[in-house]
Chains A and B, each alone.
Chain A
Amino acid sequence: ETGVTQTPRHLVMGMTNKKSLKCEQHLGHNAMYWYKQSAKKPLELMFVYNFKEQTENNSVPSRFSPECPNSSHLFLHLHTLQPEDSALYLCASSHQLAGDTGELFFGEGSRLTVL
């Protein structure tokens, strides 16, 4: 496998459920990101990890809990979500923190619907 792989591609959950999104990159990158993409809104950076350490939490509600066990894997644990959390969640990676090079590699996203 190559690139950035996200699973599941689609997820429907109730507000009381607990689920997780998974991201895996096979590019040997050191930084990984979670973005939220909602209709008619700019891309929202949620979390940044660099060498497994969280370097940014962009005021994300605690019902979203990230986990980065190693530089190749990133999870987003979801619990007691709200309908407004329905969105496309995009994972990305980069060789180093993206500010200098700007080259992010994105997965295809996980489309989340909260009922």
Chain B
Amino acid sequence: DSGVTQTPKHLITATGQRVTLRCSPRSGDLSVYWYQQSLDQGLQFLIQYYNGEERAKGNILERFSAQQFPDLHSELNLSSLELGDSALYFCASSVVGGSSYNEQFFGPGTRLTVL
């Protein structure tokens, strides 16, 4: 158990819908990262937040957005869902966000299925 929690564990929805994935980082970690992992694309970095502010951006679509709240939990919002958005979404956290050494601890993931 990494100490990172994600809810829900599974989510099934229809195309065109909007969903919110939630992540609580390990106690004391200020940085939160979101990743998408699909069978054909591997693990794709989406976005990072550090202490409430966006720190780095990866391959995140405009239909997706995220935020980190004052209590450091984070939410990933996915809208206008398409079949291709079906994937495992991981959240990871680390103590700091700007230093070189940046061990990330991954949550168990949310499996999203878009029908």
Q: Does A associate with B in a complex?
A: no
